[in-house]
Amino acid sequence: MKALCSRGIPDAVRGQAWLMLAGNSLHITPALYEIFQSRSSSNPSTTTDTYTPDAVSTESKSLSREDSIALIQHDVPRTFAKYSLFSLDTRLTESLERVLRTYACYRPDVGYVQGMSYVAGMCLLYLDEYSAFQAFANILGRRINFDFYRLKPELMSPYVETFNYFFSRHLPGLRHHMIEEGVASEVFLLDWNLSLFAKAAPVPVATRLWDSYMVEGEVFVVRAALGILQMFEFKLQSSTMEGIIKLLSHLPDNTDPDKLMGYISGVSISEQTYQRVRDSFTEKDTHIKRPPRIEGEKEESDCNDSLQNFFVHLLCPSFGIT
């Protein structure tokens, strides 16, 4: 299944595949979406009964509902702006805004964070509005995404340190150069994680990265980041701070998805190795108090036998495999 996804899921079945891979451990239903969509559309000054399960942290520093709505309205037209995907299609724009407003109401402990519009937008490119919300919410519920969207340094630090560990071992020369230029990994990792590469990468590249991320999970984020850095290593090595940040914030429009996936496939990091390294940095921050998870919520999608069988029947014919 990982091999098939790395070749690129065909557009005709990509939405269905992403929805299955995202899972629905949050038990989101059309009725639940309608409830929170309705609440999100009401006057925030007169509505106070937002969703407050145990997962909501009393220490939350998320934006107020009014601020979230204002930021969403500001960000939606700018999402994939160079493709005019959400600035010209009114229906798509309205769906994106509803999905984001509904999520901010559904998870007031998180609210809206810049970068979310790209994740929701990617889902809407291949899914109807409800299905996009279901996939979006479950993707954000994955541990790495949830921790980054909390925007708390103590939650993000173990992931950054884990990345730097592998960065120093796979690309030591580039790592040294970027340190010399004063470019900390957080500068590009935050953006890449908050939008799952969709903001920095051209849409054809981002979709290929998503195909593999959806099935491989957290470790793929590190492998993809290292693959990008290796692909542009020569240019980055000859660039100053400004050039490095500019390149990593907006990858070239002519970036070849197949070539990039080739670089990523050459980054060998096993799931076991990644988890061991991440856990070693997480243990240093044992004081971290993460908000409780919603009952039934899982860290990654559950690739069980039924899902494996689904992909055999869904993807193999699309690739001409019998």
- Convert the pLDDT of each residue in 249-281 to its tens digit: 999 999 999 999 999 999 999 999 999 999 999
Predicted local distance difference test score (pLDDT) of residue 90: 82
* Mean pLDDT value of segment 155-165: 95
- Cα separation, 42 vs 57, in Å, equals 23
Look at residue 126 and tell me whether its pLDDT is greater than 70: yes
The residue among 273, 296, 317, 233 whose CA lies nearest residue 23 is 296
| Residue 214 near residue 138 (C-beta atoms within 8 A) | no
What is the pLDDT confidence band of residue 50, given thresholds at 50, 70 and 90?
very low
* Mean pLDDT value of segment 157-169: 96
- Convert the pLDDT of each residue in 185-212 to its tens digit: 999 999 999 999 999 999 999 999 999 9
What is the pLDDT confidence band of residue 66, given thresholds at 50, 70 and 90?
confident
* Mean pLDDT value of segment 225-239: 98
- Cα separation, 316 vs 109, in Å, equals 41
Q: How many CB atoms lie within 10 A of CB 113?
A: 19
Residue 12 CB-density burial (10 A; 0-12 exposed, 13-18 middle, 19+ buried)? exposed
- Cα separation, 69 vs 104, in Å, equals 8
* Mean pLDDT value of segment 145-168: 94
- Cα separation, 116 vs 123, in Å, equals 11
If one compares 295 and 316, the residue with the highest pLDDT of the two is 316
Predicted local distance difference test score (pLDDT) of residue 317: 59
| Residue 5 near residue 310 (C-beta atoms within 8 A) | no
Predicted local distance difference test score (pLDDT) of residue 305: 52
- Convert the pLDDT of each residue in 102-118 to its tens digit: 999 999 989 999 999 99
Predicted local distance difference test score (pLDDT) of residue 67: 76
Look at residue 43 and tell me whether its pLDDT is greater than 90: no
Predicted local distance difference test score (pLDDT) of residue 34: 96
* Predicted model pTM: 0.84
Predicted local distance difference test score (pLDDT) of residue 91: 87
Amino acid of residue 252: P
* Residue in this structure with the two tokens 């542009």, named with its chain if needed: 232
The set of residues, in sequence order, having a beta carbon less than 8 Å from that of 170 and lying 6+ positions away, is 226, 230, 267
Percent of the chain scored above 90 by pLDDT?
Answer: 66
* Mean pLDDT value of segment 11-35: 95
What does the mean pLDDT of the chain come to?
A: 84
The residue among 67, 153, 82 whose CA lies nearest residue 113 is 67
